[in-house]
Amino acid sequence: MGKVCITLYICALQIIQYQQQNQKVIFLTRLRDILMKENFKMIKCMEKENTHFQIQQKTIYLKAILQMMNQKMLKDLITLKTQEIQRKKLQNYLENNKKNKKCYCQWNNKRKKVKRVKNDLKYFISQFLIDKLNIVKCMCIFLYGVKRINVILKNLKNHKGSKNEIIKQINKHSKKLIINLLILGRRYIVFDFRNYQLNKKNQYKQLIKNLHIYFYNQKIQIYLYFQKLYLSFFVCNQFNYLLFCFLYKQSKNSQYFFAFQFIIYNNQIKNKLILIKQIHTYLIKMSTREELARSILETERDIIAAVQKSKAYENSISFLKRNIMKGQITLRELESVAPEQKAYRPLGRAFILKSKEDIKTELEGIMKSNENDIQEYEKSRQHFNKKREDLEKVFKENLDKHKQLVGSH
C-alpha cells in the first residue's frame, strides 16, 4: 500500500514527559486533533521523499488510508460523546430515584456499550496509528490490552524516582515489547531502512543482530536502534519473508521464537488480519486502475503514431510508383524517335543537347532507385502495421481489465 511514513522515536524521555504532566489528557480527542493537523504535513513529507517508491503511488495510498481512518474516528467519537451525555443524565436521575430498578438496568447496559466502543476505538488507533506523542500508550495497547494501559501509565506518572529507576521499570516488560515489535514487522508494518541498503544482505542482518542482542542483555539500547527506523503501513511480502526466515535461523532454539511463533499463529490475530488484507486489496485496486488508465492512454497514442507513419509510407510508395509509370511512358515514346535526333535539357539560361541513349540510361537509373526505395518503404510499412495490431490487442485487454475492476469496485 504507498507508504505512510512516520518516524518512530521510542525513548525514555518521552515516558518522562508523561510523568511531568499532572493533568489528565483525553486520549481520543487528542488523537483526533493530531490526525486532522498531520494530514497535510505527511503528504508534504511524502512528496519530498523519492526513495523506494514513486510519489504518486505514495499519495494514493496515503489519501485512502487517511480517509478511512478519519471516517471511522469521527463516527466513533460522535457515538462516544452522545453515550457519555446519556450516561450522565441517567446517573443524575438514578441519584434522585435510587429505588427504580429498570433505570438501573438501562444505565448498566449503556455503560457496557460505552466500554465496548472505547475498546474498539483504542484497538483501531493502536492498529493503524503510531503517533510521536502517544507512542508509549499505543505500544501498551498492543502489549497488555485496554485494561492495563491506565495502570501502567499511572505508575509511570506517580513514580518520583530517577531516570534509572524508570528505565528499570520499563525493562521488566522488555521481552514482550520486543516480541510485539517483531510481530509488527512481520504482519502489520514494514521496516524501511533509510540508513541501510536492503540489496546487501549483510548490512540489514547486522542491524537485526543488534535487536537480538537486546533479547539477552535487556538494555535500553533498543530505543536508540529504533530511532533510525521508519514505519510504514504498506505490506511488502518479500521483505517480511526474508525477515521471518532470518529470525527463524537466528532464534530457532530460543524461547523467544516460540513465543513469537505462538502469537503469529493465534486465531485472534488471524481474525484481525482480515481487515488489513481488505484494505491492502482495496489500495491495490486503486493503484491498478490508475495504472491501467495511463497505459490505455499511452497505447492510444502509440496506435495513432503507428497509423500516421504507415499512411506516410503508403503515400510515398504511391508517389514513387507514379514516377516509375511516367518513366516507362517516356521510354516507349523514345522508341519512335530517330537516333539522330537530340533533346534539349535546360541548364540555367542555357540548354544542353542530349542523345537518345543518354536519356534512356538516365531514366532507367531513376526507375531502379525508385524501386529500391519502394522495397524499403514496404518493409517499414509492414513493421508499423504489425505494431498497430499488437497495440490494439493490448488496448482491448486493458479495457477488459479496467471494466472488471470498475465492476468489482
What 16-22 contacts at long range (C-beta under 8 Å, 24+ apart), as own/partner pairs, is 16/163, 16/166, 18/136, 18/153, 18/156, 18/157, 19/156, 19/157, 19/159, 19/166, 21/157
Q: Classify residue 218 by burial, with Cβ atoms within 10 Å: 0-12, 13-18, 19+.
A: middle
Tens digit of each residue's pLDDT (9 = 90 or more) over 150-162: 444 455 555 555 5
Give the chain's domains with CATH numbers. 6-288 (no CATH), 299-408 (1.10.287.370)
- Predicted pLDDT at 403: 75
What does residue 334 show for φ and ψ, rounded to 5 degrees?
A: -65, -25
- Predicted pLDDT at 117: 44
* Cα–Cα dist 114/109, whole Å: 9
DSSP codes of every residue in 263-332:
HHT-HHHHHHHHHHHHHHHHHHHHHHHHHHHHHHHHHHHHHHHHHHHHHHHHHHHHHHHHHHHHHHHHHH
- Minimum mean pLDDT among 2-6, 62-66, 111-115, 339-343: which range? 2-6
- Predicted pLDDT at 132: 30
Tens digit of each residue's pLDDT (9 = 90 or more) over 84-105: 555 666 566 556 655 455 545 5
What is the arithmetic mean of pLDDT over 23-48?
Answer: 41
What is the arithmetic mean of pLDDT over 186-215?
Answer: 40
Specify the higher pLDDT residue, 10 or 72.
72
* Cα–Cα dist 131/35, whole Å: 9
Neighbours of 391 (CB within 10 A): 20
What does residue 24 show for φ and ψ, rounded to 5 degrees?
A: -85, 130
User: Alpha helix (H) ranges present in 97-251?
Assistant: 101-128, 135-144, 149-158, 163-171, 174-183, 201-217, 221-227, 237-250
Specify the higher pLDDT residue, 243 or 393.
393
Q: Where does 51-105 show beta strands of DSSP type E? A: none
Specify the higher pLDDT residue, 367 or 28.
367
What is the arithmetic mean of pLDDT over 309-321?
Answer: 88
Residue 294, pLDDT > 60, answer yes
Tens digit of each residue's pLDDT (9 = 90 or more) over 48-62: 443 333 444 444 444
| Angle made by CA atoms 129, 133, 138, in degrees to the nearest 5 | 45
- Predicted pLDDT at 351: 59
Specify the higher pLDDT residue, 263 or 338.
338
Tens digit of each residue's pLDDT (9 = 90 or more) over 60-71: 444 444 444 444
Pairing state between β 190-192 and 230-232: antiparallel
Question: Does residue 331 contact residue 360 with C-beta atoms inside 8 Å?
Answer: yes
What is the arithmetic mean of pLDDT over 236-253?
Answer: 38
What is the arithmetic mean of pLDDT over 156-172?
Answer: 51
* Cα–Cα dist 368/353, whole Å: 24
Looking up cell 502517544 gives: 134
What average pLDDT does the chain have? 54
pTM given for the model: 0.31
Q: Which of 148, 258, 139, 246 is nearest to 189 (CA)?
A: 139
347 Cβ contact list (under 8 Å, min separation 6): none
Beta bridge partners, 351, equal 346
Residue 388, pLDDT > 80, answer yes
The 3-class SS string of 327-343 reads HHHHHHHHHHCCCCCCE
Looking up cell 535487536 gives: 211
Secondary structure of residue 51 in the 3-state scheme: coil
Beta bridge partners, 191, equal 231
How many helices and strands, by DSSP H and E, does the chain display? Answer: 14, 5
Q: Which of 175, 186, 194, 169 is nearest to 8 (CA)?
A: 194
